[in-house]
Amino acid sequence: MEIHIDEDFDQEFEDEKVESQEIDLENFSNIDAKTYVANVTVQVGADFHISTHDINPERMKISVAEQTLFIREQKPHYPHNHQKKIYICKAEYKMTITVPQTVVLNEVRINDFSGRLNLSGLNMQKLDVRANAGSLKLQDVTIQNDTKIRLDAGNLDIYQCKMNSNANLAAGSVKIKGLQGKNHFQLAAGSLKTLDDRDDQTDYDLSTTLGSIYFHGSRMGKHFYKHEGSANQLTAISSVGSIKIQ
């Protein structure tokens, strides 16, 4: 679909054909991915496998070398033969990677521009995610060692995960349920909200500059500290935004 912006605001539509490809992969223990617009899912499955859905599958460069799955997505090119036209692609680029459930990945590194990232059911040693304008969802993920997350403009959802993380968000919110481990969240402009039961075993160190802190429905001001020697620790600092522990 292409949208022409001119004096009459005319619109023209062009159908795009999405092509799919299924690729069986060699065994790997690391993932090194650089993506632009594709929505990427990494999940457990029967085999080492990858599927892509794209109007031009050749944009995806996929290879396995030295136990590492390398993914390089070339930046999509749209026609721009008129300086007043803005072209909007309606096709959804998708990529799904599966690894066997018994596999413990060593390191997963993803550098994304604007796609949605979804990691589900995985067990790994290290995770490093950086996204310019994309969101990240972690569900049923266990990370043994370091977890580094940096989102410039996107939301972070974490459900039923076990990890020790350091997350920085420039403009986006965090939603958490069932998080175990020692986790630190730094938000420049965004809110943090947990959805756990009131009897969760977590210590908290929370602070905000422009915003409020709510703990189990009670407003606590700009700083809240709760330390009972729990195994789980959550530290959250928000410059502009509220923090809610429910």
pTM of the model: 0.88
Answer yes or no: do 125 and 231 share one domain: no
- Please say which residue of 150, 171, 192 terminates a domain: 171
In a domain, 91, yes or no: yes
Answer yes or no: do 150 and 222 share one domain: no
In a domain, 200, yes or no: yes
Counting the structural domains of the chain, the total is 2
Q: Give the rounded distance of the alpha carbon of 156 from its chain centre.
A: 6
What is the residue-level pLDDT of the chain in tens, covering all 246 positions? 334 344 443 444 345 678 899 999 999 999 999 999 999 999 999 999 999 998 787 889 999 999 999 999 988 765 555 444 444 556 678 999 999 999 999 999 999 999 999 999 999 999 999 999 999 999 999 999 999 999 999 999 999 999 999 999 999 999 999 999 999 999 999 999 999 877 778 999 999 999 999 999 999 999 999 999 999 999 999 999 999 998
pLDDT of residue 30: 99
Answer yes or no: do 94 and 196 share one domain: no
In a domain, 106, yes or no: yes
Contact between 11 and 87 under an 8 Å Cβ cutoff? The reply is no
pLDDT of residue 57: 78
With residue 65 as reference, give the H or E element that holds it.
strand 60-65
CA-wise closest residue to 50 among 19, 23, 18, 21: 23
In a domain, 27, yes or no: yes
Q: What is the distance between the alpha carbons of residues 179 and 46, in angstroms, rounded to a whole number?
A: 27
> Per residue in 79-114, pLDDT tens?
555 444 444 556 678 999 999 999 999 999 999 999
Q: What is the distance between the alpha carbons of residues 113 and 31, in angstroms, rounded to a whole number?
A: 17
Which three-class secondary structure string do you get for 182-200?
EEEEEEEECCEEECCCCCC
Q: Which domain holds residue 196?
A: 173-246
List beta partners, residue 162.
142, 180
Task: Please give the torsion angle defined by the CA atoms of residues 134, 105, 123 and 34, in that order, rounded to the nearest 10 degrees.
Answer: 0
pLDDT of residue 40: 97
pLDDT of residue 4: 38
Answer yes or no: do 119 and 145 share one domain: yes
In a domain, 135, yes or no: yes
Answer yes or no: do 82 and 159 share one domain: yes
Answer yes or no: do 162 and 47 share one domain: yes
Q: What is the distance between the alpha carbons of residues 61 and 73, in angstroms, rounded to a whole number?
A: 6
- Please say which residue of 140, 155, 171 terminates a domain: 171
Answer yes or no: do 49 and 77 share one domain: yes
Answer yes or no: do 182 and 98 share one domain: no
pLDDT of residue 17: 79
pLDDT of residue 82: 46
Contact between 158 and 195 under an 8 Å Cβ cutoff? The reply is no
CA-wise closest residue to 67 among 107, 34, 95, 127: 107
Dihedrals φ, ψ of 114, to 5°?
-145, 15
* 201, two tokens: 């075993």
* 44, two tokens: 């457990």
Task: Please give the torsion angle defined by the CA atoms of residues 193, 197, 199 and 205, in that order, rounded to the nearest 10 degrees.
Answer: -10
Dihedrals φ, ψ of 58, to 5°?
-65, -15
Answer yes or no: do 165 and 207 share one domain: no
In a domain, 166, yes or no: yes
* 41, two tokens: 């899912």
CA atoms within 13 A on the CB side of 93: 22
pLDDT of residue 196: 84
Q: What is the distance between the alpha carbons of residues 69 and 35, in angstroms, rounded to a whole number?
A: 13
Contact between 95 and 39 under an 8 Å Cβ cutoff? The reply is yes
In a domain, 229, yes or no: yes
Answer yes or no: do 182 and 240 share one domain: yes
Instruction: Supply the DSSP symbol for 26.
Output: -
In a domain, 193, yes or no: yes
Pairing between β-strand 68-73 and β-strand 39-45 as defined by DSSP bridges: unpaired
Answer yes or no: do 227 and 157 share one domain: no
- Please say which residue of 114, 137, 171 terminates a domain: 171
List beta partners, residue 149.
129, 167
Answer yes or no: do 70 and 98 share one domain: yes
